Chains A and B, each alone.
Chain A
Amino acid sequence: MPDSGKRITFTVNGLERDVVTAPARPILDVLREDLGLTGTKEGCSVGVCGACSVLIDGQLMSACLIPVGELEGRAVTTVEGLADEDGRLSAVQQAFLTCGGFQCGICTPGQVVAATALLAECPAPSPEQVRDWMMGNLCRCTGYYSIVSAVLEAAAAGREEPA
Chain B
Amino acid sequence: MTVQLPFSRPEVRHEGHLKVTGSAKYTGDHYPPGLLHVACLSSPHAHALIRGVDTSGARDLPGVHAVLTGADIGDVRFGRFLRDLPVLATDRVRFIGQRVAAVAAETREAAEEAVRLIDVEYEDIPAVYDPREALTADAPVLHPEAAGYLTMRGDGRELPEHLNLQGDLVAGRSEEEMASAFAAADRVFEHTFRTPRQHQGYIEPHGAVVWFEGDTCHVISTNKAPFTLRAHLATATGHPAEQIVVYNRFIGGDFGGKGFSLDEFVAFYLARATGRPVRSVMSYVEELSGAGPRHAAELTLRTAVSSDGIFLAHSADVVFDGGAYAAGKAAPDLVPHGGLDTMSAYSIAATRHRLRTVYTNSVPGGHMRAPGEVQAVFAGETHVDLIAGELGLDPVELRRRNLLRPGSPAPDGTGAQSAAGEVLSRAAEGVDWATQPTRGRGTGIAVYRRKGGAGRGGVVLRALAPDRFEIVTGAADQGAGTVTMIARVAATALGVDESCVEVVQQPTAVAMFDQGAGASRVTRVLGEAARLAALDMRDVLAGDVLAGAVPAGAVPACAVEFPVEVTREAEAPRGEASDTFGAVAVEVEVDELTGQITVVRAALAADTGTVINPLSHRGQLEGGFAFGLGAALMEELPVEDGQVLAGSLGDYKLPTAPDMPPLTVINVGDTPGPGPFGAKPVGEFGNLGVAPAIGNAVARAVGVRLQQLPLPAEAVWAGLAERA
A→B interface (CB under 8 Å): 22, 25, 29, 32-33, 36-46, 48-49, 51, 78-80, 82-83, 89, 93-94, 96-100, 102-109, 112, 128, 130-132, 134-148
Size category of the B interface is: 35 or more
Contact indicator A108/B26 (Cβ below 8 Å): no
Contact indicator B618/A100 (Cβ below 8 Å): yes
- Pick the contact of B663: A93, A99, A145 (CB < 8 A): A145
List the 6 closest pairs (A to B, CB-CB), nearest first: A39-B22, A106-B252, A104-B479, A143-B626, A105-B19, A100-B615
Contact indicator A135/B22 (Cβ below 8 Å): no
- Pick the contact of A140: B22, B28, B109, B623 (CB < 8 A): B623
In whole angstroms, what is the CA distance A42 to B28 when docked? 9
Contact indicator A41/B622 (Cβ below 8 Å): no
Contacts of B252 in A (CB 8 A): 41, 104-107
List 13 A-B residue pairs with CB atoms under 8 Å apart, sorted by A's residue number: A38-B29, A39-B21, A44-B648, A103-B480, A104-B204, A104-B250, A105-B15, A106-B202, A106-B203, A132-B657, A139-B203, A140-B255, A142-B619
Contact indicator A131/B616 (Cβ below 8 Å): no
Q: In this complex, what residue of A is CB-closest to B11?
A: A100
Contacts of B255 in A (CB 8 A): 140
Which residues between 595 and 648 of chain B lie within 8 Å of chain A, taking CB atoms? Answer: 615-616, 618-620, 622-627, 648
Q: Would you call B162 an interface residue if the criterion is a C-beta within 8 Å of the partner chain's C-beta atoms?
A: no
A33 to chain B, nearest CB (A): 6
Given contact pairs A41-B203, A104-B252, A143 touches B663 in the complex (Cβ within 8 A): yes
Contact indicator A98/B649 (Cβ below 8 Å): no
B519 to chain A, nearest CB (A): 18
Contact indicator B658/A131 (Cβ below 8 Å): yes
Which residues between 522 and 575 of chain B lie within 8 Å of chain A, taking CB atoms? Answer: none
Contact indicator B619/A104 (Cβ below 8 Å): no
* Among A78, A98, A132, A143, residue most surrounded by chain B Cβ atoms (within 10 Å): A143
Contact indicator B25/A38 (Cβ below 8 Å): yes
Which residues between 484 and 509 of chain B lie within 8 Å of chain A, taking CB atoms? Answer: none
Contact indicator A144/B660 (Cβ below 8 Å): yes
Contact indicator B622/A104 (Cβ below 8 Å): no
Q: Would you call B23 an interface residue if the criterion is a C-beta within 8 Å of the partner chain's C-beta atoms?
A: yes
B204 to chain A, nearest CB (A): 4
Given contact pairs A83-B21, A100-B616, A108-B19, A147 touches B657 in the complex (Cβ within 8 A): yes
In whole angstroms, what is the CA distance A102 to B250 when docked? 13
Given contact pairs A44-B284, A44-B648, A49-B649, A102 touches B21 in the complex (Cβ within 8 A): no
Q: Would you call B17 an interface residue if the criterion is a C-beta within 8 Å of the partner chain's C-beta atoms?
A: yes
Given contact pairs A46-B649, A100-B13, A142 touches B26 in the complex (Cβ within 8 A): no
Q: Would you call B481 an interface residue if the criterion is a C-beta within 8 Å of the partner chain's C-beta atoms?
A: yes
Contact indicator A43/B21 (Cβ below 8 Å): no
In whole angstroms, what is the CA distance A105 to B619 when docked? 13
- Pick the contact of A106: B12, B26, B656 (CB < 8 A): B26
Given contact pairs A100-B615, A142-B619, A89 touches B648 in the complex (Cβ within 8 A): no
Q: Would you call B157 an interface residue if the criterion is a C-beta within 8 Å of the partner chain's C-beta atoms?
A: no
Contact indicator B479/A103 (Cβ below 8 Å): yes
Q: Would you call B650 an interface residue if the criterion is a C-beta within 8 Å of the partner chain's C-beta atoms?
A: yes
Please encode chain B, from 4 to 30, with 1 for each CB lying within 8 Å of some chain A CB and 0 for all others. 000000111101111111111110110
Contact indicator B619/A97 (Cβ below 8 Å): no
Contacts of B615 in A (CB 8 A): 99-100, 146
B586 to chain A, nearest CB (A): 14
In whole angstroms, what is the CA distance A109 to B109 when docked? 26
Contacts of B281 in A (CB 8 A): 42
In whole angstroms, what is the CA distance A94 to B17 when docked? 9
Which residues between 368 and 394 of chain B lie within 8 Å of chain A, taking CB atoms? Answer: none
Contact indicator A132/B658 (Cβ below 8 Å): yes
Given contact pairs A105-B15, A145-B660, A79 touches B21 in the complex (Cβ within 8 A): yes
Contact indicator A43/B663 (Cβ below 8 Å): no
Q: In this complex, what residue of B is CB-closest to A102?
A: B19
Q: In this complex, what residue of A is CB-closest to B250?
A: A105
- Pick the contact of A143: B200, B480, B616, B623 (CB < 8 A): B623
Q: Would you call B97 an interface residue if the criterion is a C-beta within 8 Å of the partner chain's C-beta atoms?
A: no
- Pick the contact of B660: A36, A42, A51, A143 (CB < 8 A): A143
Contact indicator A49/B203 (Cβ below 8 Å): yes
Given contact pairs A79-B21, A148-B657, A103 touches B623 in the complex (Cβ within 8 A): yes
In whole angstroms, what is the CA distance A37 to B651 when docked? 29
Which residues between 26 and 41 of chain B lie within 8 Å of chain A, taking CB atoms? Answer: 26, 28-29, 31
Contact indicator B660/A103 (Cβ below 8 Å): no
In whole angstroms, what is the CA distance A45 to B203 when docked? 10
Contacts of A135 in B (CB 8 A): 656-658
In whole angstroms, what is the CA distance A60 to B202 when docked? 22
Contact indicator A80/B649 (Cβ below 8 Å): no
Contact indicator A97/B12 (Cβ below 8 Å): yes
Contacts of B22 in A (CB 8 A): 37-40, 78-80, 108-109, 112
Contacts of A140 in B (CB 8 A): 200-203, 253, 255, 623, 626-627, 654
